[in-house]
Amino acid sequence: MAQAINTVEEFENTIKTNNYVVVNFWADWSKPSTQMTQVFNTLAEKSANKIKMINVEAEKLHQVSLKYNIKSVPTYIFIAYQKVSNTMVGANPAELAIQVNSFITKPPQESSSSSSTTNNDAHNEEILKQMKANQEQEKKNLNERLEKLINQAPVMLFMKGHPDKPQCGFSNKSVAILRENGFTFDSFDILSDPAVRNGLKEYSNWPTYPQLYINGKLVGGFDIIKDLNEDGELAELKP
């Protein structure tokens, strides 16, 4: 797994003490960025003894982001002997694998032969296969976790914040309606876990929060909760 860098001093020291460094500038609010960070970490495990790969939260270390002119996430900076040799912007797992492998097998000061190019292509293909397998397993594990969370209680509300301290108006109103109707429910703060926040949207094909589940089935978001309440149908769904 790539090393997480938390301070400017730690970043600068890493650059000075490693000849070859690949930096992943990411943000937890960006789904493509968080997904690509998983890819980046997989590549880091395979490259641990060859190059240094690090994760930098772009907004947390804004001084570093400004220095390298980071305008979007994910962005990858390839640094050789403290100088930028290449930059890649965007979420492209295949291209990232190729760029990292090229950085390992063909450092900036070296040239490659046709035979090494053939070997590189084979290695790239193997990396992509492993990455795909890892991503499929991670998705399976996440879906199993989501299913357990959804069925954690007869009534589950996935919301921003907690029932006694909601972090958005729709979550606050949903909690109020459920309490007015005498519901006993558990909740999950989706702001506390980016994997759940992003994964549940895809799992249930519902793009917004809050999300209400009763007996393991999606009821809907705030608009649905509100309409059911106004029609007098919400209380009928109480387990």
Cis peptide before 154 (omega within 30 of 0): no
Give the whole-number percent of the chain exceeding pLDDT 90.
72
Mean pLDDT computed over 30-58:
92
Instruction: Give the end of a domain, one of 104, 119, 142.
Output: 142
What phi and psi values does residue 10 have, to the nearest 5 degrees? -65, -40
Mean pLDDT computed over 22-38:
92
**Does 115 have pLDDT greater than 80?**
no
Q: Tokens in use for 151? A: 């069925």
What 3-state DSSP class applies to 64?
helix
Range of the domain at 184: 151-237
Query: Is residue 138 domain-shared with residue 204, that is, in the same domain?
Result: no
**Does 169 have pLDDT greater than 90?**
yes
- Say which range, 9-13, 159-163, 190-194, has the weakest mean pLDDT: 190-194
Query: Is residue 119 domain-shared with residue 170, that is, in the same domain?
Result: no
Tell me which of 110 and 130 has the higher pLDDT. 130
What pLDDT score was predicted for residue 120? 55
Tell me which of 158 and 98 has the higher pLDDT. 158
CATH code: domain of residue 84: 3.40.30.10
What pLDDT score was predicted for residue 55? 97
Give CA angle at 133 (104, 76), nearest 5°: 40
Rg (CA), the chain: 23
Mean pLDDT computed over 126-152:
83
Question: By CB neighbour count within 10 A (0-12 exposed, 13-18 middle, 19+ buried), where does 178 fall?
Answer: buried
What 3-state DSSP class applies to 171?
helix
Query: Is residue 8 domain-shared with residue 119, that is, in the same domain?
Result: yes
Instruction: Compute CA distances 167 → 136, 172, 175, 181, whole Å.
Output: 32, 7, 12, 21
Average predicted confidence (pLDDT) for the chain: 89
User: 113 falls in which pLDDT band (50, 70, 90)?
Assistant: very low
Mean pLDDT computed over 61-80:
93
Mean pLDDT computed over 209-223:
97
Mean pLDDT computed over 112-138:
61
- Say which range, 59-63, 108-112, 177-181, 232-236, has the weakest mean pLDDT: 108-112
Query: Is residue 49 domain-shared with residue 135, that is, in the same domain?
Result: yes
Tell me which of 120 and 59 has the higher pLDDT. 59
Distance in angstroms (rounded) separating the CA atoms of residues 186 and 39: 33
Mean pLDDT computed over 19-36:
92
User: 78 falls in which pLDDT band (50, 70, 90)?
Assistant: very high
Domains identified in the chain, total number: 2
